Amino acid sequence: MAQEVDRPTYQVGGKLQRSDERDNVFAREALLPGSPEEIEYHSRHPDLVNVDRRLAKHFFGTLPGHSRSRSCSAGEALPESVFGSVAALALPDVVDGPVAAQKAGIDPVQMARTIKAIARQLRASLVRIGPLNPAWVYSHRGVWPFFDDYPPNPPAFDGVPAGYQGLEYGDPIEIEHRYAISMGFPQTPALIGTSPSRLSSFEIGRVYAASALVAVELARYIRALGYPARAHHLRNYGVLLVPVAVDAGLGEIGRCGYVINKALGTNFRLACVTTDLPLAVDKPVDLGVQDFCEKCQKCAHNCPGRAIPVGDKVEVRGVRRWQIDAEKCLLYWGSQGAACAVCQVVCPWSKPSAMLHKLVAEIATRIPAARRFLVKADDWVYGATYKRSPAPDWALNQCDLNSSRSGE
Ligand code: SF4
Ligand code: SF4
């Protein structure tokens, strides 16, 4: 059972400030050097030029069709298969669209049950509904693929359709929906455990692609009922998914920056739908994660990019939380030519779903005095140091699954 509480467990230390998506490392790595967007951004942030050039070097080195790209080997083709398809689900008239003229009559309690049932049927493992705090809406659009003539644009992309706002780089984003439906999608432990590798990149992309489709489908369902709804997924976020999910009670923010869920730990990816469909909301939860992470630090000690703090929380746009160094994290991904998920794998909350793990999660939630022992016990059982899992048999013919590339 989730331990529901009235307020989320993150501490609000000051006035909440909206995040500008252009400041996100994934937006900055995708700034094409010399492009109008890059010149404008770095005129405002000259201190970031050098690190962003290093990020961009890795990013553009992976794009097919770009002058600096290399041919796509068998291993590289795996992540390309799943990440490439998500872009098509990010087009503005796919994440959003016209709303049916006739509004269906709605009982918010019954409708919340129906929405959760449909989301699960569409293959979301976790689904909870929260109020949408306007502070979690991005202030400006920052992430590709909505630049003209841009290599990562989806196939057949011929520009942002007229009438859509908030979807081109630098556009202000205004989303006034009242509710957010947060969904979680588990990653396969055997694949994510090969991290960082082409296989872990493939698995992360596979889950993001699946989550994008579910979010798009659920938003379409709601619009067909006569209510506005917008999907948010990997390639087209309008809101910060982590605090939105925490407000809905999907879990708590951990030291590693991911949401920790009682059943899946950190081993899942998020998508969400914001809407004005009247819905009964869920409460946030207190699983004891804040105290557990104080005692644990396993992700920080194992992070190969040295990106996770061992120290205290800091204030980030009004919220006190552990803040990872996203530049170090992404530079590490770039140095490996693959997505890393070591912090997700080693987290004691992320262990495979079994009776024992459920029992341990229950004890960790309910008995604060047991947490220090459980941290130690996780080291005894699973090891204190991350060990990469072997690739499964079907992947062994992908010759360069674990190859690193230098460039730093
Ligand atoms: S993804 Fe890898 S590099 Fe990034 S914070 Fe997690 S463990 Fe560190
Ligand atoms: S590994 Fe430990 S410190 Fe890191 S998020 Fe998980 S519980 Fe928290």
Q: DSSP string spanning 242-279? A: HHHHHHTTS-EE-TTSSEEBTTTBT-EEEEEEEE-S--
Ligand having the closest approach to the CA of 307: 1
Please identify, by atom number, the ligand 1 atom nearest to the C-alpha of residue 305.
3
Residue 126's contacts (CB-CB under 8 Å, 6 or more residues apart) are: 182, 183, 184, 185, 250, 261, 263, 264, 268
Ligand 1 pocket check: which of 306, 329, 345 to mutate, most ligand atoms within 8 Å of Cβ?
Answer: 329
The answer to whether the CB of 238 is under 6 A from ligand 2 is no
Residue 226 has pLDDT above 80, yes or no: yes
Q: What angle do CA 210, 251, 204 make, to 5 degrees?
A: 30
- Per-residue pLDDT band for 162 (boundaries 50, 70, 90) equals low
Give the tokens for residue 33. Answer: 């050097």
pLDDT for 126:
98
The answer to whether the CB of 331 is under 6 A from ligand 1 is no
Residue 70 has pLDDT above 50, yes or no: no
Residue 31 sits at φ, ψ, to 5 deg, of -80, 110
Q: What angle do CA 318, 320, 321 make, to 5 degrees?
A: 125
The one-letter amino acid code at 210 reads A
Lowest model confidence (mean pLDDT) among 64-73, 246-255, 298-307, 370-379:
64-73
Ligand 2 centroid to residue 300 C-alpha, Å: 8
pLDDT digits (tens, 9 = 90+) for 248-265: 999 999 999 999 999 999
- Per-residue pLDDT band for 406 (boundaries 50, 70, 90) equals very low
Alpha-carbon distance of 230 to 248, in angstroms, equals: 17
pLDDT for 160:
66
Alpha-carbon distance of 274 to 130, in angstroms, equals: 10
pLDDT digits (tens, 9 = 90+) for 277-313: 999 999 999 999 999 999 999 999 999 999 999 999 9
Ligand 2 pocket check: which of 258, 259, 268, 349 to mutate, most ligand atoms within 8 Å of Cβ?
Answer: 349
Residue 297 sits at φ, ψ, to 5 deg, of 65, 10
The one-letter amino acid code at 1 reads M
Ligand 2 centroid to residue 167 C-alpha, Å: 35
Residue 57 has pLDDT above 90, yes or no: no
Alpha-carbon distance of 289 to 286, in angstroms, equals: 7
HEC secondary structure over 345-389? HHCHHHCCCCHHHHHHHHHHHHCHHHHHHHHHHHHHHHCCCCCCC
Residue 404 has pLDDT above 60, yes or no: no
Q: How many CB atoms lie within 10 A of CB 148?
A: 13
Which residue bears the tokens 């013919």? 397
Q: How many CB atoms lie within 10 A of CB 122?
A: 18
266 — alpha (psi -120 to 50), left (phi > 0) or beta? Answer: alpha
Alpha-carbon distance of 56 to 66, in angstroms, equals: 12
pLDDT for 394:
84
Residue 113's contacts (CB-CB under 8 Å, 6 or more residues apart) are: none
pLDDT for 296:
97
Residue 316 sits at φ, ψ, to 5 deg, of -125, 110
pLDDT for 355:
86
- Per-residue pLDDT band for 329 (boundaries 50, 70, 90) equals very high
**Radius of gyration (C-alpha) of the chain in whole angstroms:** 21
* Helix locations, 96-196, DSSP H: 108-121, 189-192
